Amino acid sequence: MSNQLQALRDITTVVADTGDIEAIKKYQPVDATTNPSLLLKAAEMEQYRSHLENAVAWAKEQSDDADQQIIDAGDKLAVTIGTDIVNIVPGRISTEVDARLSFDTQGSIEKAHKLIALYKEAGIDKSRILIKLASTWEGIKAAEHLEKEGINCNLTLLFSFAQAQACAEAGAYLISPFVGRILDWYKAKTGKSEYAANEDPGVLSVTKIYNYYKEHGYKTVVMGASFRNIGEITELAGCDRLTISPGLLEELSNTDAPLDVKLKDTGATSAPGKPLDEAAFRWELNQDPMATEKLSEGIRNFAADQVKLETLLKSYL
């Protein structure tokens, strides 16, 4: 009997949710995702010290302004680590736009262009890159613009059906609905400490989104993210992609239990309904306290880790 990681690979594209090169080499995912928190964690590892030094040295050549140097160094570091990763995985690397631009459509577009240009300088074509953007209205509109330019996007911090619907209607290449963070909210609010995998609120959310996309023929890829346990992962077996932390990849590889297909694409059966406009999107999001709170919290936390990373980079100036 194959282990559950091997079995999962047969039905779902497995993505590594880490910036740790050694973990990526070990588990051999198709794609990899990073975010400011993962980049901060990687930057604090001794083996990445030269990347920080090189990023700061490069930034000093681009500008004499200390603040701009830190911004440039952060972008260069993200792309350098992303380049290391994309030279290992056969697929794509997701690199995130600064969370502080989550409500700035034009700023997000400009940052995406800058990241793509840095990857091009490193010899990496845009076809190997996904630009990660928060699933705010502004982030979704930025993705819509970038997709029309041929720059594929990964819409992250996605917690609600309204966000998923708007992303599909914008033509986003991929969404990352956050399973575990939804579970966290329900545990905190209900006092219920345990959920069966098939009753997990995060699992139910991704299942609903997946089925809606397939039923209406949307091409946007569904990639479940932010898992708390392997039960959430196995309950979403068959999802387009799942991005999984090294710890849970290891647990799956050490588990020999059978793995059943839970999500299946049976083909489109109906046309999409009326698209969401901005007012409808904001109203639907407002009516979902979990999604409203987790989106705001996620943006704040990613921004805080970006600031910590910049503080670390300053020590190299």
26 given a catalytic annotation:
no
pLDDT in tens, 200-227: 999 999 999 999 999 999 999 999 999 9
What is the predicted pLDDT for the residue at 72? 98
For residue 1, the model assigns a pLDDT of 62
- Residues 6-16: pLDDT tens digits? 999 999 999 99
| Cβ neighbours around 226 below 10 Å, total | 25
CA atoms within 13 A of residue 229's CA, in its CB half-sphere = 13
What token pair was written down for 299? Answer: 């943006």
Residues ≥6 apart with Cβ < 8 Å to 5: 14, 27, 249, 252, 253, 255
Note whether 146 and 111 are within 8 A (CB). Answer: no
Query: In whole angstroms, what is the distance from residue 36 CA to residue 197 CA?
Result: 29
pTM over 0.75: yes
Q: Give me the catalytic one of 132, 141, 214, 294.
A: 132
Residue identified by tokens 């290449």 is 173
List the structure tokens of 148.
């029309």
pLDDT averages per 10-residue partition of the chain, 317 residues:
92 95 94 93 92 97 96 97 96 97 98 98 98 98 98 98 98 98 97 96 98 98 98 98 97 96 96 94 98 98 96 94
For residue 247, what are the contacts with CB-CB under 8 A and spacing of at least 6? Answer: none
